[in-house]
Amino acid sequence: MSLLAKRSIVKEDKSNIITLGAIAKEEKKKDPEVVNATIGMLYDENEKLFAYKSVDKALSLLSIDEKYAYGSTPGSKDFHDAVKSWVFREYYDDFKDISEVMATPGGTGALSNTFANYLNENDKALLPSYMWGNYKQVLYENHQDFMTYNLFNDKGGLDLVSIKECMLKLKKEQGRILLVVNDPCHNPTGYSMTSDEWVSLIDLINEISYDGTPVVLLHDMAYIDYSKEGFEFTRKNMKLYKKLNNNAMVIMAFSGSKTLALYGIRIGAQVAVSNSKENLIDFNKANKFSSRSKWSNTTNLGMNLVVKVFKDKELRKSFEEELKLSRETLIKRANVFLEESKKCGLKTLPFDCGFFVTIPCENPDKVYEYLVNKKVHIIPMGKVVRVTISAIPVEVCKRLPKLIKEAIDSLN
């Protein structure tokens, strides 16, 4: 008889990203010719982990206490203001009084808190059909489940019809809705919603919640600062949040780990927006309790790096310039990959920008095995394979589509 509790007996980390990434990393150490296109981190053209010089400078300016002392559970007022100033940018004044921030260990902590506090046990979250697999594990850990909506319609745009159908079904079954949208630079497809799609989505949420049904939009914005459209476009869409009625609210999962390339430091935040003061008070109480019970407090080093980079004018300016270069690098890699895919007839899912390109295929595990024999490591997921263009140089982006096409064709 297992000593584990009943629900823990079946626990197994089925997300193969970390496992296969570790294998690829070890193979790369033994053979520099190996291509590691598995883990969602940004590497330069020399295949070295990318680090922002402005962030390194900020690190050197922190005191011993700022690095190593305990931080507060929700994060300091300076941290809250720094996050708001970055997330809302030119719309800071519009949102500063209708938003609240809770410090979390990375974007994952923000997801965990939100699922825990806005769904009952056995309730279902509404997830996209193509998704980051860890959503499912976080829900299971919280004694919750999920339903999926079709991410794409037959025209390659957001399937708002499917989202509405699923929302109505959950409204009838459980009386509340938590909808997850990963935008822009959706993981794993790289899709980004249009402004019109954002307008339609907010209108739909108001329509569903008009009668008092609680609706929470969980906006996973991990890759927002790598959108090829830049800061102005992504922040302008946020203005729509102000249109939501008091039965609905938005909770953004902000990843400082991704934005600042601080992957291992694990710093993030929940950023809640609501026109209802009561909603914001409840947000603070419940999520502070959850944070204290799960991780006690978030890394003080990470929080103070966020404050230093986002609040110091010179550091922020230089960081934004570096971030622009990072986006340009990703755009160049994506353009090359997609151009070569078109040349060789390799089909990809709708892509706009970001760290990943996803290719549909019937036998992803077999494609993975074929490519490993060619010294190429990607991630098989469901009926797709995911290629991390953020981790590979332009030269590899140019030759990889043909190899993947050969792998898929070899199985037909």
Closest to 40 measured CA to CA, from 276, 396, 355, 306: 355
Q: Does domain 61-315 have CATH number 3.40.640.10?
A: yes
194: tokens are: 């249009």
The 3-class secondary structure across 2-56, one letter per residue, is CCCCHHHHCCCCCCHHHHHHHHHHHHHHHCCCCEECCCCCCECCCCCECCCHHHH
In contact, 163 and 177? CB cutoff 8 Å:
no
Dihedral, CA of residue 245, residue 246, residue 247 and residue 251, to nearest 10: 90
Assign a CATH topology to domain 6-52+316-410: Aspartate Aminotransferase, domain 1 (3.90.1150)
Structure confidence by residue, pLDDT tens digits, 259-318: 999 999 999 999 999 999 999 999 999 999 999 999 999 999 999 999 999 999 999 999
Distance from C-alpha of 42 to C-alpha of 61, rounded to nearest angstrom: 24
340: tokens are: 């070569």
Ranges of each domain in the chain: 6-52+316-410, 61-315
Dmax (CA) for the chain in angstroms is 61
Query: What is the chain's mean pLDDT, rounded?
Result: 96
Structure confidence by residue, pLDDT tens digits, 162-203: 999 999 999 999 999 999 999 999 999 999 999 999 999 999
Closest to 396 measured CA to CA, from 370, 368, 377: 377
Q: Do domains 6-52+316-410 and 61-315 have the same CATH topology?
A: no
Structure confidence by residue, pLDDT tens digits, 15-60: 678 888 889 999 999 999 999 999 899 999 999 999 999 999 999 9
- The secondary structure element, H or E, covering residue 271 is strand 268-273
The mean per-residue pLDDT over the stretch 107-131 comes to 97
Distance from C-alpha of 355 to C-alpha of 256, rounded to nearest angstrom: 16
* pTM of the predicted model as reported, rounded to 2 decimal places: 0.96
Structure confidence by residue, pLDDT tens digits, 292-304: 999 999 999 999 9
pLDDT of residue 9 exceeding 90: no
